Amino acid sequence: MTRARTTAALAVAALAVPVALIAAPVQATPGDTAWRADLSVVDGDDVNVVHHGGALTLRDPDVRVEGGSHGYLLLAERVLGRPVNRVSASTDGAAEVDVRGKVSDLDWTEWTPAGDVLPQAVTTVQVRVTLTGKGARVSRVDLVADSVARTRAATGPLTYRVFATREGLVGGTTANGHVIKSRDHFVALPSRRGLAPRDTGDYTVRVCRTDDSRCEYAPVWDVGPWNTKDDYWNPSSEREMWQDLPQGTPEAQAAYLDGYNDGRDEFDRTVANPAGIDLADGTFWDGLGMSDNDWVTVSYLWTGSGPTGVVSTAGEPLNVRESASTSAPLKGLAANKAKVIVECHVVGETVTGPLGTSDIWDRIGPDHYVSDTYLMTDSEEPVAPLC
């Protein structure tokens, strides 16, 4: 929130805090760097799992997402006594354990397999335990946090041109437990490394038509299309699968256009299109104004740096304008819960929004402006300098 907002607005903001800002109870005394996960705490941010008979299992093995039966347990944030950049895990069952680190009140690193090095040192971590397959179960997950040397320069968000398809599937359930509604606003990427927990925008993309005439900022709430372990935006050496492909090239694209992997995906299915991203109906039709599957430009915003804000509306997407005025040409939409990078701010038209009244507008992309009264930040002052 910024300086121009009223006391009443602050009260409204307190009620409008996104899920991502509400810290879950810490599992153990801060400072412990070795602990056993409590697998019995299954609640509303978990997907299709149950703790029974001393083990975590799938609640309904017939619930399927891309690639088969699936569910996950999202553990509470854990505060550590010193900075760490790695959390290793050992289990007694068939489970994938991923870790992310909190870098600010709003921002997280990408989900990283336990044992791999995080992009930067953190003092708060979160663990996700994923079960895949009807017989999957685990009763013990032991975790150890430490710090190892790593050098990685900060960069702007990675951006690639990929093929987009419309997801549809209204009434279905996404990989993070979201029930898809008509004209919904989210995207799917073919890797769980960039999957945001339900009702958060922890991992958000900016997806634009190739002429940049329309864009949408949308959270990543599903896994697909085609693959589930294809984080193609990452450097080839860090990619979970298909490490012989160039960075920025989805496996489905290489399979469809170049016959890579005999034209098949990770599940040995014949790839029928080169899609590297799926768009929910509202993102496809309303955000980008698309009428058919096509090439788009995608920026993976969590891979960049800078102050951020979370779009806070009553549920409908926020209009993105060409300048700091509600009458300026529309450049696209920003979905509710999307987390955007605030590049700078300007003074413009006074607007009353869910977070108060202000004449501050934030630039969140090239000629993309939104009123500051719709962005939840970690400060009551502008979080970025004047443009």
Return the closest-CA partner of residue 198 out of 171, 216, 223, 222: 222
Helix, strand, coil percentages, rounded to 5, for the chain = 10, 40, 50
Distance from C-alpha of 111 to C-alpha of 109, rounded to nearest angstrom: 6
- Look at residue 381 in the predicted model and tell me its pLDDT: 84
State how far the alpha carbon of 33 is from the alpha carbons of 19, 83, 99, 126, in Å: 26, 10, 14, 13
- Look at residue 107 in the predicted model and tell me its pLDDT: 93
Helix (H, G, I), strand (E, B) or coil at 38: coil
Domains assigned to the chain: 31-146 (2.60.120), 158-303 (2.40.40.10)
- Look at residue 11 in the predicted model and tell me its pLDDT: 31
Half-sphere exposure of 278 (CA within 13 A, CB side): 23
Residue ranges of the chain whose pLDDT lies below 50: 1-30, 151-154
Q: How far from chain centre, in Å, is Cα 305?
A: 15
Cβ count within 10 A of residue 175 = 24
Q: Answer left, alpha or beta for residue 34, where phi above 0 means left and psi between -120 and 50 means alpha.
A: beta
Radius of gyration of the chain measured on its C-alpha atoms: 21
- Look at residue 224 in the predicted model and tell me its pLDDT: 95
DSSP class of 386? B
Q: How far from chain centre, in Å, is Cα 22?
A: 17
Residue with tokens 């039966």: 69
Distance from C-alpha of 152 to C-alpha of 77, rounded to nearest angstrom: 25
State how far the alpha carbon of 69 is from the alpha carbons of 79, 159, 271, 354, in Å: 32, 31, 21, 39
Q: Phi and psi of 36, rounded to 5°?
A: -105, 130
- Look at residue 260 in the predicted model and tell me its pLDDT: 98
- Which helix (H) or strand (E) segment is 361 a member of? strand 356-365
Distance from C-alpha of 232 to C-alpha of 236, rounded to nearest angstrom: 8
Strands laid side by side in the 339-341 sheet: 339-341, 308-311, 375-376
Distance from C-alpha of 230 to C-alpha of 253, rounded to nearest angstrom: 11
